[in-house]
Chain A
Amino acid sequence: MDVKKRIDELEEELEKELEKVKTQAELLNVKSRYLGKKAEISSFMKHMRDLPKEKRPAFGQAVNEGKERFASLIEKRQAFLKRRSIEKKLAKERVDVTLDAPDFRVGSRHIINQIVEEVEDLFIGMGYTIEEGPEIETDEMNFEKLNLPKDHPARDMQDSLYITEETLLRTHTSPVQVRTMLEYGGKKPVKMICPGKAYRRDDDDATHSHQFYQIEGLVVDESTTMADLKGTLLVLAKAMFGPERKIRLRPSYFPFTEPSAEVDVSCANCAGEGCNICKNTGYIEILGAGMVNDYVLAASGYDPEKYQGFAFGVGIERIAMLRYGIEDIRNFYTNDLRFLRQFKA
């Protein structure tokens, strides 16, 4: 008998049988029939002793190779069956990937606070500290030490919300300048910004809010100049409105600074060409600034002979309104979530 030929025949049979095998049990059955003790291939070894000695190794090798081939075929089938059963199981786990996911949305920080943080970080990078102060202020801190004595005409500019004769809700963050300078005792340079709420007697409408958010800046040292103010505000304007922006200083008046200036930023909408947003001027007013008035320095314990400085105040709502085209200031305080959630950060 040609064993090799028989093994090849058996292999063909096995292949055909395996193709029909669907389950693990069937597979075991086939396996025992082709490789078990009673399998035909197992019986071949009995014939070996009938062979001449020199043919035995070749015979043995042929049988063993046959067994290996059978085993390999069975294994392949087994792997195939296993994979198919997993696939079936997974098929049952099919999901509609378009179904809605759970709501894990990250919340939004208030747009005003986002801008405040942005400005804070900008100034921290330039070596400024962040100072804070009370919202219920004394008339002295809010006005008198800022060169606004009682009966001063400029008090008209900021009609105030008084609590008693001598206390009021601060009308600007400027009293924090005074508080900080007093705290420093007139001895070391000041380089600070102060974010905070301020209040004025205004009826709320699209452009007025009795409560608003300001950032005040103050630098006092022996050689702080108006050019330094200009450079600093240019950095601020570019950070807030884009690197292409320019600024423009116009003379103005604040009792606590002199010279005083109002600062315009070139209109981002028309790049200074003139449009309806900038009322065809190419510029938009964003803040007030100036060199600290000697009176304020002296009232805050700084020797005006030695020290000089600049201060500025900027409204955060205004920045946000310009940046995002928000037309009504009340949006910031109504806190409609459909508004707030647009500003992610």
Chain B
Amino acid sequence: MRVSCSWLKNYVSLDGITPEELAESLTLRSQEVEGVFPLAQGENLVIGEVLSVSPHEKADKLVVCEVDVKKKRLTIICGAPNVRQGQKVAVALPGATLAHGLRIEKTEIRGVVSEGMIASLTELGIDYKYHHEDGIHVLHHTAPAGEDAMAYLFFNDTVLDLDITPNRADLLSMIGVAHDVAAIFNRDVKIPKPKIVTAKMENPLTIETETKACKSYYGRVLDDVTIGESPRWMRSRLIAAGIRPINNVVDITNYVMLETGQPLHAFDYDKVGEERVLVREAKKGETFTTLDDEERKLEEGDILITNGKEPIALGGVMGGAETEVTEETTSILLESAAFDPRRIRRTSGRLGLKSESSLRFERGIDPAMTRYALDRAAALLAVYASTSIRDGIKYFDNHENKRSPIELSLEKLNRVLGSDFDTAHVQDVLQRLSFPFEEKDGIFVVDPPSRRQDINTYQDLIEEIGRLSDYNILPATLPTTVSRGGLTDYQRFKRRTRHILADLGFDETMTYALREKERVYDLAKDKEKEPVSLSKPLSRAHQTLVLTPLHGLFDVAAHNRARKTEAIHIYEIGKCYEEEGETEMLGILMCGSYRTHRWQKHAPTSFFTLKGIIESLADALRFSPLIFTSTTIGNYHPHQCAIIKAQGEEIGHIGKVHPEYADAHDLKDVHLAEIDLEKAYELGRERSAYTPVPKHPGMQRDIALLVDESINAEAIKRTARECAGEMLAAIHVFDLYEGDKLPKGKKSLAFRLRFEDAEKTLQADTTDKLVQEIVKALEEEHGAIQR
């Protein structure tokens, strides 16, 4: 809502208050003022009369005007095509500053001295959308030459741009804003009293409704309409409010709407054709042509204003093309009505017809204003469109005006706000608000006025008293509730995960959960998961919720690789969003060298680098040991991919991205892993009692085995463990050789075994015996030959 300060003064005195002070006070006690700006810009601007227009000898598109500004005659060069002899115009004298910092000086243009400028409205800072004028602005022929043009145009005004919250429908009117200003500054509100002088002819209308969605409908008929311009003061106020002036009839309905918050509509009464108004609900499939000449498909629940036969308006949303007021209109039917806010919201939303009117109906209007607004508009039309008003107002009004009084105790008020207000303070605030009330023993019983339909509960009253007192006077205290705060074990587990990965050199990402639908399974392990999609997608790129954080990580890698970042090691705790619920997943991606010794030789990042990361993480978070089992998954390398299990339960997967898929995204050697964090947490071991540190030194033995290519290291380790029992403290592969020097289909695996005995110092022969047993078992079980 844009509020003209000079207009606001009609209803409440602003003496001694600057627009900036007003804005500040409204922001702190009413609604946020988003901007304070002048309606127009121009100093040193006078009204002039164009005495003559003659061509500029050296410029085709320019003319030389003699302009009379009363004190003297000026020669002004003008480029506007619409300048004519005899016009009254706004002349910017040398030294004037107009909108956008335009400064006017006496200048010579191609040999002729120009002593000022004839201004257009745009040059005065009035946006083109409010006037649609391409040339200079031509004033009325009665404009007094020599006088201040800005004052004549009512342009010396400051506008406040208020951001009105949805609850404050009352502030969508100048009178409503005046009431709040009055409450803040403790002043009175003056509301103009319309003077209705009626003709003899009676208002012939019958007005009825078939639907409860129309709460009230007041109608007047006016004759002898003279369509023309509305007065200058009204036009400037409309512009200040952000509405383009059209003609007196339209402008007056808009003006009264802005003043009262009650939308009005004027029909060409002759075209209505009947002496009847019948409000009904639209039938499904019914169509109606609105005044923008669009044929609208209606649905049940839309409200139609009809003449008893044909629809003439889409109630509360837009009038009909058939009954639109035009230059030829002589009689009008003026409507002031109230509709069910939800119906208006639904209809205007569905048809994309949001207007100043529909906005006010949606938020809810003051039922007490409906009749007032009609009379106010009729009275203005009588003056500014020389109408005669037919006798009588016709209407129905089904508003239930009973609103319950609201009870609020001083004790409750102070208990909620944490304030220390006394009875006198609350009385003062309620009086400023002009809320009728009674007070007894600290209990206030308040009758909310009709203009404040939003005030219904004691909390509404607390808010009114709180805001007008200024929340900033409240003390700053802390809750007295004694409680134990903290993270849950799982939350701590998640934090640890993120910190460990960061310490391992991984950067954390945060990616969009909504992605392309067609890529949702690309990096997901389970193709049977049911993804979740938006019913109305934001865009193709943001349509479906991801099944794995790997989706985002992969795209982040592509983004960074394209920007020449070499080492990309990233992770994210995201979610797998499925119809049946959301699971928190850890995704890790490695691409490029990891912890590189830049100028010395190093092993490239491989499947095993990432495997090592996962194992370190599992160890630190106590969900190790992990078992990796070969598998194949869609876009992963068919021979470098594994399921990860902990305690026999699958908790994730790891693998190299298929080179073709990586290549399609300009990536190479990408390794991914995903861990179901919730499962990993559940499988995590409790911190158990400590194991004593071995007192006796252990022994180490290396064995090299020749085995079939197909035998995996894990199988050999398992056999060795089963065979040696607890004595085998650790077993690791320390060498792998596959080459020409070996028999075809064979590989050589070398293991380092570490033996420990908690009871005694291990003897060399005991250890050797154990090794022999292990080798024997491996031979039997896997056909392994010791080398």
Contacts and interface: CB of A to CB of B under 8 A. Distances in A.
B487 A291 contact: no
B737 interface: no
Interface string B480-506: 111111111001000100110111111
B550 interface: no
A110 interface: yes
Contacts of A153: 166, 341, 345, 362-363
Contacts of A201: 538
B597 A230 contact: no
Nearest to B578: A136
A107 interface: yes
Nearest to B593: A103
A216 interface: no
Nearest to B359: A153
Nearest to B343: A151
Nearest to B584: A132
B363 A225 contact: no
B479 A134 contact: no
Interface residues of A, number: 85
Interface stretch (A9-17, A18-26, A46-54, A157-165): A157-165
A191 B596 CA distance: 47
Residue of A99, A102, A258, A261 with most chain B CB atoms under a 10 A cut-off: A258
A221 B482 CA distance: 10
Contacts of B478: 126, 228, 231-232, 235
Residue of A99, A134, A219, A337 with most chain B CB atoms under a 10 A cut-off: A337
A148 to B, nearest CB: 10
A147 to B, nearest CB: 11
A291 B503 contact: no
Interface stretch (B63-71, B93-101, B393-401, B556-564): B556-564
B416 A308 contact: yes
B457 A294 contact: yes
Contacts of B509: 110, 335, 340
A330 B32 CA distance: 27
Interface string B347-391: 000000000000000110000000000000000000000000000
Interface stretch (A36-44, A75-83, A249-257): A249-257
A151 B342 contact: yes
Nearest to B538: A210
B466 A223 contact: no
Nearest to B466: A259
Given A124-B487, A228-B479, A335-B556, A135 B508 contact: no
Contact of B513 (A211, A252, A332, A335): A211
B537 to A, nearest CB: 9
A169 B514 CA distance: 10
A340 B557 CA distance: 13
A189 interface: yes
B511 interface: yes
Residue of B479, B507, B508, B575 with most chain A CB atoms under a 10 A cut-off: B479
Interface in A191-216: 191, 197, 199, 201, 203, 210-211, 213
B471 A130 contact: no
B381 to A, nearest CB: 31
A199 to B, nearest CB: 7
A105 interface: yes
Contact of A135 (B481, B503, B507, B575): B575
B510 A113 contact: yes
B419 interface: yes
Given A113-B498, A153-B362, A250-B32, A108 B481 contact: no
A262 B505 contact: no
Contact of A227 (B362, B417, B499, B506): B417
Interface in B511-535: 511-514, 532-535
Contacts of B31: 251
A336 interface: yes
Contacts of B502: 106-109
Given A225-B415, A232-B479, A333-B510, A124 B486 contact: yes
Nearest to A225: B418
Given A126-B478, A226-B417, A258 B32 contact: no
Nearest to A210: B538
B284 interface: no
B485 A103 contact: no
Given A105-B505, A128-B485, A258-B460, A224 B479 contact: yes
B476 A334 contact: no
Nearest to B457: A294
A313 to B, nearest CB: 16
Contact of B510 (A101, A112, A117): A112
Contacts of A271: none
Nearest to B499: A109
Contact of B32 (A169, A224, A225, A252): A252
A125 B485 contact: yes
A294 B498 CA distance: 39
Given A107-B506, A153-B345, A163-B534, A189 B475 contact: no
B109 interface: no
Contact of B474 (A152, A197, A226): A226
B211 interface: no
B418 A338 contact: no
B28 interface: yes
Nearest to A164: B535
Interface in B575-626: 575, 577, 581-582, 593, 595-599
Contacts of B505: 103-107
Interface string A82-116: 00000000000000000111111111111011000
Interface string A154-185: 10110001111000010000000000000000
B287 interface: no
Nearest to A102: B597
A201 B535 CA distance: 12
A255 to B, nearest CB: 8
Given A107-B505, A153-B345, A226 B466 contact: yes
Contact of A224 (B341, B481, B498): B481
B477 interface: yes
Contact of B559 (A213, A219, A293, A334): A334
A31 interface: no
Contact of B507 (A108, A112, A120, A334): A108
A120 B556 CA distance: 27
A130 B498 contact: no
B27 interface: yes
Nearest to B165: A253
A96 to B, nearest CB: 10
A252 B30 CA distance: 8
A234 to B, nearest CB: 5
Residue of B168, B415, B510, B598 with most chain A CB atoms under a 10 A cut-off: B510
A220 B362 CA distance: 33
A228 B476 CA distance: 6
Nearest to A283: B27
B507 A221 contact: no
A226 B418 contact: yes
Contacts of B486: 124, 129-130
A209 to B, nearest CB: 9
Nearest to A310: B479
Contacts of A152: 166
The 5 closest A-B pairs by CB, nearest first: A227-B418, A225-B418, A253-B165, A259-B463, A249-B471
Given A107-B501, A110-B509, A127-B481, 20 more contacts: A103-B593, A109-B499, A124-B486, A129-B483, A130-B491, A153-B363, A154-B167, A191-B481, A210-B514, A221-B481, A226-B471, A230-B474, A231-B475, A258-B459, A260-B463, A291-B462, A335-B511, A336-B560, A340-B507, A341-B507
29 contacts: A102-B596, A108-B502, A113-B508, A123-B485, A126-B478, A128-B485, A130-B487, A135-B582, A151-B342, A153-B166, A153-B345, A153-B363, A162-B534, A163-B534, A169-B514, A199-B514, A201-B538, A211-B512, A227-B474, A230-B418, A230-B474, A235-B478, A249-B471, A251-B28, A294-B459, A335-B509, A336-B563, A337-B570, A340-B507
